[in-house]
Amino acid sequence: MVPSSITFINQTREDSATAYLDGVVDRPNLHLATGQTVTRIWIGDKYSIPGIHIPPFGYLRRALGVEVSHLDY
């Protein structure tokens, strides 16, 4: 078990839906696709936030989109 998968409030482990999906499930730009494999992630330019250190490289990058491959089962 990794410390980052433990909720700091009550020290319990979260599953991926609780950790990543529950807080954003109502966003209008969220699209869930099952049976897909991501083949490429398009990454934007580097940017930083003044006054905030972002290890290890000191900058962030935002994913702009993904390319997927449909799986036929």
State pTM to two decimals. Answer: 0.49
The mean pLDDT of 38-64, rounded to a whole number, is: 83
Question: Among 40, 38, 42, which Cα is nearest to 69's?
Answer: 38
Q: Which two tokens stand for residue 67?
A: 């390319």
**Residue 44, domain extent:** 3-70
DSSP string, 16-65: HIIIIITTTTT-TT----SSEEEEEEEEEEEE--TT---TTTS-EEEEEE
The total domain count for the chain is: 1
Residue 1 confidence (pLDDT): 47
Residue 42 confidence (pLDDT): 92
Residue 56 has pLDDT above 80, yes or no: no
